[in-house]
Amino acid sequence: MPVKRVDKTPMPVREPGQRAHDFEEVNAGYCFAHAMFEAERCLRCQDPVCVDGCPVRVPIAEFMHAVAANDLPKAAEILRHANPLAAICGRVCPQESQCEMNCHMTKRFGPVAIGHLERYVSDWEMAQPETDEVKEPWREEKIAIIGSGPSGLVCAGELARLGYHVTVYEALHAPGGVLRYGIPEFRLPNKILDWEIKQLERMGVEFVNNVIIGKTVTMDQLFKEYGFAAVFIGTGAGLPKFMGIPGESLNGVYSANEFLTRINLMQAFEFPRSETPLKVGKRVAVIGSGNTAMDAVRSALRLGAEHAMVVYRRSEKEMTARIEEYEHAIEEGVEMHWLTNPVEVLGEDGWVTGLKCVKMELGEPDESGRARPIPIEGSEFVFPVDNVVLSIGTRPNPLLVKSTPGLKTHSWGGLLVDERQVETSVKRVYAGGDAVTGAATVILAAGAGKRAAEAIHHDIQTEAA
Amino acid sequence: MVQIIEKRQLTPITSLYRVDAPLIAKAARAGQFVIVRVREGGERIPLTITEYDRETGLLTIVVQEVGATTRRLGELGVGDHILDMVGPLGEAPEIPSGGHIVGVGGGFGSAALLCLMKELRERGEKTTVIIGAREKSLLILADELAEVTDNLEICTDDGSAGFKGFVTERLQQMIDGSPPGYPDFVISIGPMPMMRAVEKTTAAARVPCTASLDPLMVDGTGMCGGCRVTVGGEVKFACVDGPFFDAHTVDFDEAVARSKMYVKEEQKAADCQRSAHEEEAA
C-alpha cells in the first residue's frame, strides 16, 4: 500500500506568533483524516518492537489496527487498559526515545505518530457522553497512595480495577502532582488532568487533598489507625536543586518549581484576579535544558518576557528536552545559549540585574557518558537579565522519610526498593516513580505505578491464600 | 474545607479563630504552622498555630489583616469555612531545658508565643514573656499569656500600658540584671525589624536566641524554595528546616529584602479585591 511510504503526518499546531502570548494548548490535535491516514502508515510488523519501547507496554499494533478500522471505542479500550493516563501521555511522553524510536518506519520516513494517535483516541474518548456511575470496590482491603502524581494515579487506577478500596493522599489543594504544578497548560491543559482524575473517581478511587503523610498523618497511623493493608509512595522528586553560586537568593531568582507552581497551580497568569503574583521582567534567563527548562522559558515568554533565554553549559546535542518542546520553543522565539555556564547572579538593591557566565568547550566524556564541559579561561561575560530561573534538576523530598522509621534511601535521597523494584525497606510499603529513580518521565512513573499495583495485589493475595 | 467554630476580635485588624481541624490538631506541636487558602484563585499563606486541642480537634489561629488573603479571612465568621488548610508544617523548635527562658513577641507574634509558652510551662521551665505593641489597644492575648508564664512584661511605645518603650529595651534591662532576671535563652517572634533588634540585643550579651521566620511560601513542603533563607552561610528552607533558626546566624538583610519582593503586587491584589467589593455593593 503506497500510503505507508510517506512521511509522518505533522501535528497541527497554533501559529507561534499567536500561541506565544497565551496559555492555551499549542498542539491542536489530529483531525479524523489525519488519524486514519497516519494509522494506515503502520507496517503491521509481525514482531512489533515499538511495544518494547513503552514502559507500560501499550499493545500498539492492536491499537493501530483499531484506529485504522475506525473502531475508536476498541482503540480507547486497548489504551485505557494499558495506560490509565493515555490522554496525558499522548501529550507529554518523549515518544522519540521510546516507542517511536523503535518503529521500523523511523529511519526512512519517520515513525508512525504513535503519540499523536494516542492523543487523538483519548480526545475522542473525552468527548463521549459519560455517566455519573461510580464503581464500588468489591474487595475488603484498603490501599493508601501517597502523592497524586503520575505513579500514584496509575497505581490507584490499577488497584481500583482489581477491586480494592483506594485512597490517594495529596499534600497540595489539588490532585495531580507534577502534572498539576509542573507542566504548563499550553502543553497539558488542566481540564485533561481533571478528566483523567474524574475517571479514577468513577472507578471508586477516593482523593484526599491537603494531607501530608509524615506531617498530618504518619505512616504508622495509616496502618494502625486507618487499617490500610498496603501503602504506595509516589511522592516524586519535588525538591529543587540550586547551583550554589553567589546571588541565588536575590529577588527575581526562582527555582523552576516555584516559577511553574505559581503559574500552573496558583494561576499567576491571571493576577490580580488570581491572587498569587509572579515577577516576570523583560529579560529572563532559564538555566538548564530539560523539559522543565523549556516549560519555564516558554511560560516566561507568555508572561511578557521580550528576551527569554535558555542557558546551558553543554551543547544542543546533550540537551535533555523532548524534541517537540525544543522545536516549539525555537519557533516561539526562545534564545538558546549553549556551552554557557552561569557563575554568578548579579544584583542591585536586592534585585537581579544580570547573569555572569563563562563560555565552555566540550572535553572528554564524563561519568554520564556525555562530553565534559570545560570553562574557557577569560571568557566571562554578563547577560543583563531581570529574572533567573534555575531548572537544573530536582531530588526526592525527605519529608516522609524523616518521619518514617526504617524507610531506607540511597545517599542522594531516592527510596531503596527490592529486587522487584517495588517494595521498600518497610514491609507492605511500596514505592515508584521519581521518589525511587530521581527525576524522570511521566511514563516511567506510570510504569512503576502499574508494576507496584501488580505486586501489591500479588502480595496481598499470596498472604490471604 | 475547615469550619470556623469560634471567632474573637482581638484588635480592629486582628482576629482569633478556632477551627475544626482534628487531623492537624492531633499532630500539631508548638511552633509549627499551617498553610491556608481562602477561596478559589486565592493565595496560599502560612499562619502560625496559636493553640491546639487534641481532644476536641480544635485548632486556634490568629490572623492580622495585612493583605488580600488575610482580609478575606477577616470577613469570615462562625460557621463559615476556610477552603483549604494543610499542616502542621515546619519543625517545633528545640529549646534547651533549665535556665530562664524569655519569649519576646511583637505585634501578633504574641499569638505564636502562646503555644510555645504553654508547652514550656508543662515542661516545668522558668519563663518570662515580653510582649510589645504601639499602644495598649493593640496588645493581644496578654491574659492568656499571663496564665502560662511566670512573668508577663508588657511594653508599649506610648506607655499606655506597662513599660514605656520597645521590647528590646525591657530585654536589655533584664540582661543588665533587672528583675525578673537575666535571660538564658530567648525566643523571638514578631515583625522582622523587631526580631533583628532582639538579635542585636542578645548578641551583644552572648545570649542564645532563636527567631521564627515567616518568609513568603507557596507549598510549605520544600518544593518551591521560595522561602529560602541564608543561615550560617547555608541556604535553608524555612518551611521544612524552620521556621525557627539561630537568630545570630540568620542573614536578616537578605530575609528583609526577600520579604519585600511582592510589595507592589500585594497592593495591586488588595486594590483589585476592593474594587470587586465595591462592584458587589453597587
Give pLDDT, residue A403: 92
Strands B209-212 and A142-146: unpaired
Say which CATH topology domain B100-259 has.
Rossmann fold (3.40.50)
Chain A nearest-CA distance from B239, in A, is 11
Are A277 and B262 inside 8 Å of each other by CB? yes
pLDDT band at A3 (very low <50, low <70, confident <90, very high): low
The answer to whether residue B216 scores a pLDDT higher than 70 is yes
Residue of A nearest to B1 (CA): A210
- Domain of A96? 2-127
Lowest mean pLDDT among A153-157, B66-70, B232-236: B66-70
Same domain? A253 vs A316: yes
Same domain? A282 vs A374: yes
Chain CA centroid to CA A431, Å: 17
Give pLDDT, residue B5: 97
- Give yes or no for B240 touching A (CB within 8 A): yes
* CA–CA distance, A387 with A351 (Å, rounded to integer): 9
Q: Would you tell me which residues 30-89 of chain B have a C-beta closer than 8 angstroms to some C-beta of chain A?
A: 37, 41-44, 68-69, 83-89
Query: Which of helix, strand or coil describes residue B216?
Result: coil
pLDDT, mean over chain B: 94
Give pLDDT, residue B238: 94
> Is residue A132, in this structure, part of any structural domain at all?
no
CB < 8 Å to B27, chain A: 215-218
Residue of A nearest to B83 (CA): A173
Write out pLDDT tens, residues A223-266: 999 999 999 999 999 999 999 999 999 999 999 999 999 999 99
Class of domain B2-89: mainly beta
CB < 8 Å to B25, chain A: none
Give pLDDT, residue A371: 86
Listed residues A339, A358, A392: the one ending a domain: A392
The answer to whether residue B117 scores a pLDDT higher than 50 is yes
Q: Would you tell me which residues 158-197 of chain A have a C-beta closer than 8 angstroms to some C-beta of chain B?
A: 171-173, 181
DSSP assignment of A256-283: HHHHHHHHHTT-GGGTTTS-------SE
- Give yes or no for A276 touching B (CB within 8 A): yes
Residue of B nearest to A391 (CA): B224
CB < 8 Å to B260, chain A: 251, 350
- Give yes or no for B218 touching A (CB within 8 A): yes
Other C-beta atoms lying within 10 Å of the C-beta of residue A61: 18
Strands B33-37 and B84-89: antiparallel
Chain A nearest-CA distance from B63, in A, is 18
Which of B218, B229, B261 is the closest to A261 by Cβ? Answer: B218
Write out pLDDT tens, residues A75-95: 999 999 998 899 999 999 989
* CA–CA distance, A62 with A9 (Å, rounded to integer): 20
Same domain? A41 vs A116: yes
Same domain? A293 vs A372: yes
Give pLDDT, residue B215: 92
* CA–CA distance, A269 with A186 (Å, rounded to integer): 12
Q: Give the mean pLDDT of A22-34.
A: 94
The phi and psi torsions of B222 (rounded to 5 degrees) equal 90, 10
- Give yes or no for B243 touching A (CB within 8 A): no
Give pLDDT, residue A1: 47
Q: Give the mean pLDDT of A287-293.
A: 95
Same domain? A232 vs A254: no
Chain CA centroid to CA A279, Å: 25
How many domains, chain A?
Answer: 3
Query: Which of helix, strand or coil describes residue A48?
Result: coil
Residue of B nearest to A258 (CA): B224
Are A271 and B269 inside 8 Å of each other by CB? yes
Q: Give the mean pLDDT of A329-349.
A: 96
Map out the domains of chain B as residue ranges: 2-89, 100-259
User: C-alpha cell of A2?
Assistant: 503506497
Same domain? A447 vs A378: no
> Is residue A134, in this structure, part of any structural domain at all?
no
Q: Would you tell me which residues 193-212 of chain A have a C-beta closer than 8 angstroms to some C-beta of chain B?
A: 209-212
* CA–CA distance, B214 with B200 (Å, rounded to integer): 19
**A39, A373, A375, B166 from A363: Cα distances, Å:** 44, 6, 10, 61
Are A273 and B228 inside 8 Å of each other by CB? no
The answer to whether residue A6 scores a pLDDT higher than 90 is no
CB < 8 Å to A248, chain B: 235
> Is residue A137, in this structure, part of any structural domain at all?
no
The answer to whether residue B58 scores a pLDDT higher than 90 is yes
Helices A32-40, A60-68: inter-axial angle, 10-degree rounding: 130
Could you identify the residue written with the cell 492531633? Answer: B26
Q: How many A×B Cβ pairs under 8 Å? A: 124
Give pLDDT, residue A4: 61
> Is residue A416, in this structure, part of any structural domain at all?
yes
Are A249 and B258 inside 8 Å of each other by CB? yes
- What is the DSSP code (8-state) at residue A431? E
pLDDT band at B162 (very low <50, low <70, confident <90, very high): very high
Chain B nearest-CA distance from A308, in A, is 21
Which of A258, A275, A397 is the closest to B221 by Cβ? Answer: A397
pLDDT band at B53 (very low <50, low <70, confident <90, very high): very high
CB < 8 Å to B235, chain A: 242, 244, 248-249
Same domain? A377 vs A409: no
- Give yes or no for B232 touching A (CB within 8 A): no
Same domain? A383 vs A268: yes
The answer to whether residue B115 scores a pLDDT higher than 70 is yes
> Is residue A136, in this structure, part of any structural domain at all?
no
CB < 8 Å to A147, chain B: none
CATH of the domain at A22: 1.10.1060.10
Give pLDDT, residue B161: 93
> Is residue A347, in this structure, part of any structural domain at all?
yes
Residue of A nearest to B271 (CA): A272
Same domain? A165 vs A182: yes
* CA–CA distance, B282 with B280 (Å, rounded to integer): 6
**A242, B216, B239, B257 from B262: Cα distances, Å:** 22, 9, 19, 10
Which of B27, B261, B262 is the closest to A215 by Cβ? Answer: B27
Give pLDDT, residue A130: 81
> Is residue A33, in this structure, part of any structural domain at all?
yes
Share of chain A above pLDDT 90, in %: 85
Give pLDDT, residue B282: 73
- Give yes or no for A246 touching B (CB within 8 A): no
Same domain? A369 vs A259: yes
User: C-alpha cell of B276?
Assistant: 470587586
The answer to whether residue A359 scores a pLDDT higher than 50 is yes
